[in-house]
Amino acid sequence: MERQDIRNIAIIAHVDHGKTTLVDQMLKQSGTFRSNEVVEERVMDSNALERERGITILSKNTSVSYEGVKINIIDTPGHADFGGEVERIMKMVDGVLLLVDAKEGPMPQTRFVLQKALKEGLKPIVVINKIDRPDGRPVEVEDEVLDLFITLEADDEQLEFPVVYASAKNGFAMLSIEEEGKDLRPLFDSILKSIPCPKGEPENGLQLLISNIDYDKYIGRIGIGKILRGTINKNQAAVLAKTKGEVANVKVSSLYNFQGLGRVDIESATVGEIIAIAGISDISIGDTLCSVDKVEPVPFVEIDEPTISMNFMVNDSPFAGREGSYVTSRHLKDRLEREMLSNVAMKMEEISADCFKILGRGELHLSILIETMRREGYEFAVSRPMVILKKSEAGTQEPFEHLFVEVPEENASAVIDKIGQRKGEMLDMLPTGTGIVKLQFRIPARGLIGYRSEFLTDTKGYGTFHHLFDGYDNYRGDIKVRTRGSLIAFENGTAVAYGIFNAQERGQMFITPGTEVYEGMIVGESSRLEDIVVNVCKKKQLTNIRSAGNDDSLRLVTPTVLSLEQSLEFIADDELVEITPKNIRIRKRILQKTARERSQRK
């Protein structure tokens, strides 16, 4: 049976090529919103962090109706760190809209997401977006996209992809570059014409693959997936086949489908529909819901392995428990286990009762989890990100990244030098003729830890870089990342202007007068390689003698306020970042000076 009334598509692209903006316009022009309804921009980026950073972090479902056909749309992230979000939805759709910027052309993540889609045999539509840009080059970009398809060994049918020229921002699409764009009808028509209808046997046994998990505080866990075979009814008895081989008898208490931005309660659904089910407490991504008389699990898409790990531990600083609502090891473990259920690219290992190792795709992947937990009221400490090494017959192997860099010509030599120091090998150098140089490197993943801030400084904020996982290779030896030590607080107390004034001669401060500090807390970056202990709480001794200039105000240098990502990049192996809902502090693992010195001697 073919479901002519349904199309299931995912929108995939490199970061910032306009996926979420296009979904906004598709929702508006399909009549999803009332004419008088006020709708904010990037409505699909519902997460507060997504709105602040201007990126998509989680894959999300929505739907529009056009010419009597329901089009289920999945908006996906563009960052490589969230590649797991893209990989897991591939079984839910029958085709993809590949968005490519009319100026930038195919970028590193374009290659990654397209490769996953082609491997699953999905039908692509290429959308060359932002054609309203004055520096756009849509014709050349179309050729570059074709070259990419050929490089990725697309089959003959996939190579016959339709091309739509669009401006998501202005809400129009065209089938020819010479046309005048009015609305998105050409894009909707291309979807109906080119994306295959879902097929299946509605009378056969139920087969529903869970590809996404949502959570509702009233009804609990909600499994989202596509019905590959059969029909499902509300209150139906079924069998849940887990990814590890176990099976369990369950009951579907609630059934929903997607209409616009919301979920609608339904009584039944059949082949090809993307639905949400509630009432199964231990449902997870990759599970298959089957009929009782025919239990046949569906193999789930293979997710790339994590490459970076970080230890999450209970906060044991002198300020522990003062600012967070959830501070115990039980709180921390429960929250991390809950994250593992929906974040398929992340893994967890229990090191001890108070320490858990979290494995992820990259620094951004892990920092988003940290920031999310922080906003939820959790208080904990984290270690420096470390790459995951593997042992083989050839020796120790480490993960490598393919690094794509765009920098102004005058900054290229500084970038090449720094990446060389981090064991990177240059693969290609391409001047663009516009004052920008495109560079490609192969670099150990640990060489990128802590590099972003340094890169932005070296390129005065004009450089950009993206990276993709490039496999494991032989360990390249030590990389000297930190060139300066830390300024460490001498005692517990409150920092004062006089103490900071004396300490700032030793390096760059991170704190201001009035900041509460404790012994072992890092208050600045040393101007030398070694750590220096400073007393920022030291007050000026008062005398009854008044001298010229005595009352002049102390001139304090503006401190550097580190963000979460900058803090994670800054810390050394013997340091931690203390995370609370109100503050981010950096500290030594061993707070007491004498104990630290004793440990170093050992």
The total number of residues shown for the chain amounts to 602
- Report the helix count and the strand count for the chain, using DSSP H and E: 14, 35
Q: By three-state DSSP, how is residue 420 classified?
A: helix
Is 242 marked within a binding site?
A: no
Nearest to 91 by CA among 223, 225, 207, 197: 225
Q: By three-state DSSP, how is residue 516 classified?
A: strand
Q: State which amino acid sits at residue 353.
A: A
Q: By three-state DSSP, how is residue 525 classified?
A: strand
C-alpha–C-alpha distance, residues 163 and 479, integer Å = 46
The DSSP bridge partners found for residue 526 are 507
C-alpha–C-alpha distance, residues 169 and 73, integer Å = 18
Q: Please write down the long-range contacts of 548-557, taking CB distance under 8 Å and 24 or more positions apart.
A: 554/497, 554/498, 554/501, 555/501, 556/497, 556/500, 556/501, 556/504, 556/509, 556/512, 556/513, 557/504, 557/508, 557/509
Q: Would you tell me the crossing angle of helices 138-151 and 108-119 to the nearest 10 degrees?
A: 50
Determine how β-strand 355-360 pairs with β-strand 347-352.
antiparallel
CB-side neighbour CA atoms (13 Å) of 378: 22
| Tokens 């290992």, residue located | 349
C-alpha–C-alpha distance, residues 366 and 386, integer Å = 11
Is 103 marked within a binding site?
A: no
Q: By three-state DSSP, how is residue 186 classified?
A: helix
Using CA atoms of 437, 443, 448, 452 in order, give the dihedral in degrees to the nearest 10: 0
| Tokens 């401190």, residue located | 559
C-alpha–C-alpha distance, residues 586 and 270, integer Å = 54
DSSP assigned state of 574: T
Is 156 marked within a binding site?
A: no
Helices (H), 273-347: 329-342
Two structure tokens written together for 4: 């002519």
Is 21 marked within a binding site?
A: yes
- Give the end-to-end CA distance of the chain in Å, rounded to a whole number: 72
Is 20 marked within a binding site?
A: yes
DSSP assigned state of 17: S
CA distances from 119 to 116, 146, 191, 209, 301 (A): 5, 16, 20, 18, 10
Q: By three-state DSSP, how is residue 310 classified?
A: strand
Helices (H), 376-526: 412-421, 452-458, 497-503
Concatenating the DSSP letter of every residue in 246-274 gives -EEEEE--EEEEEEBTEEEE-SEEETT-E
Is 316 marked within a binding site?
A: no
Is 434 marked within a binding site?
A: no
Please name the helix (run of DSSP H) or strand (run of DSSP E) that holds residue 407, with its range, or none: strand 395-408
| Tokens 């001047």, residue located | 431
Is 131 marked within a binding site?
A: yes
Nearest to 360 by CA among 376, 349, 375, 374: 349
Report the binding-site residues.
16-21, 129-132
Report the binding-site residues for GTP.
16-21, 129-132
